[in-house]
Chain A
Amino acid sequence: MEFESVIHGESIIKKYKGFELNVPMLDVPKGFATALIGENGAGKTTLLDILAGIRLDYKGSLKFFGKYDDKDRENNPVVKNNIGYEGTGNYYLPSWTVKQAREVQTLLFENFDEAKYKDICSKLAVPDDDNKKVSDLSDGNNMKIKLAGVLSRETELLILDEPASPLDPLMRDKLNDMIRTYLNEKEGERSVLFSTHNIADMESVTDYAIIVENGTIVEEGFVEELKEKYICVKGEKQDEEAASKILYSMTSNNFGFEGICLSSKLDELAGLSVVKETPTLSQICIAVMKQNSKLYGIN
């Protein structure tokens, strides 16, 4: 499926000792929720930090909203105001109180809506205690006030780094709702890019998936397309060996096997008695990751 890109990147490279992020081509579709999926250390945060402008020491070119480059992102308030970023680090001074954290945001961002912020905080069940220090908040509550911060601004792109990680299941569900609401408020104009290593929790909100492994993109596409590209296959023990040559990734037990293969390879399974199912996004991600870990010789 063709799409317009809210972020387009070329030859994005950042080298660390022992790790290199190297993304020849990046496209984040406009109007959708995109998940950046990968193992710990795959390069998700590095990539998001580069996109958000937290990290500026990289090579490559970036284009935002189809017309602005990364210098505009730094210098043009229109671009800056239209991007909301939430990172895993602390970005309020530990000594600040909840109240001060809120007031700083009203000063920093022209489009910060304080009433909306308070409303989101109460919806997310953030303890209503203005004098509490930010550093005394739990990880979950810390994330909630950060999310309330980005969602209270009139933006067109959200970049969220692991928003679900510190949240409990109920709050993850609310996060999904908030992302859908955000997208719906401006039909087709708003986009969300978030990273996660726990895709099962975010699957119901993910439209486009970008899987990163070892610093580079190994698979990407609209979820519905990926679900057609790959297929989940289950079979009996006697067919295991024959199937193992065709399946992308496979787990077996004493009674049978289960695995993911490319739908285009289904013909090769003819003759084996197998059950075919549409895979979940998690299953696809795990299969792709396993496959690539094998290629890189990690496992």
Chain B
Amino acid sequence: MIISQTSGVPIYQQIADSFRSDILEGRMKAGEYLPSIRGLAKELRISVITTMKAYEQLESEGLVTPVQGKGYVINAQDTEMLKEQHMRKVEDALTEAIASAKIAGLSEKELMETLKILLRIREN
């Protein structure tokens, strides 16, 4: 996990973002626990309350549930939601690619060709 002090994004937000992608992309599985609040604060060298706020945010998004005395457990994720999340990422990346293509003066056909070539490389 990379925490930037100068990115302008609040630290609790950066922590929440990091765990969110870990959960939604399946690197952290349902039933696993998030690191303890004070343990994570110690490791990341930040305050306890910042970590707590990050976890509360994940809780409000329904990704984790607090368990008395045990910490925060990762909920089973809705596969539809997971797909939706990934779909949005694909759209974002493609939108960015289209913008770059425009600057480079690529035609629609050339752009499609590029995508096809990249897909083929990936498959091999």
- Chain A residues proximal to chain B, CB less than 8 Å: 31-33, 176-177, 180-181, 183-184, 187-188, 203-208, 222-224, 227, 278
Contact = CB atoms under 8 A, between A and B. Distances in A.
B15 to A, nearest CB: 12
B49 A32 contact: yes
Interface of B: 10, 12, 36-39, 41-42, 45-50, 52-53
A33 B49 CA distance: 9
Contacts of B53: 224
Contacts of A207: 47-49
Contacts of B39: 184, 187
Overall SS of chain A's interface: helix
Nearest to A278: B10
B48 A183 contact: yes
14 contacts: A33-B48, A180-B41, A180-B42, A180-B45, A183-B38, A184-B38, A184-B41, A187-B37, A188-B37, A223-B50, A224-B12, A224-B49, A224-B50, A224-B53
Nearest to A208: B49
A160 to B, nearest CB: 16
Contacts of B38: 31, 180, 183-184, 187-188
B49 A223 contact: yes
B36 A222 contact: no
Contacts of A203: 47
A31 B47 CA distance: 12
Nearest to A32: B48
Given A184-B42, A224-B53, A278-B10, A206 B47 contact: yes
A115 to B, nearest CB: 22
Contact of A222 (B37, B42, B46, B49): B49
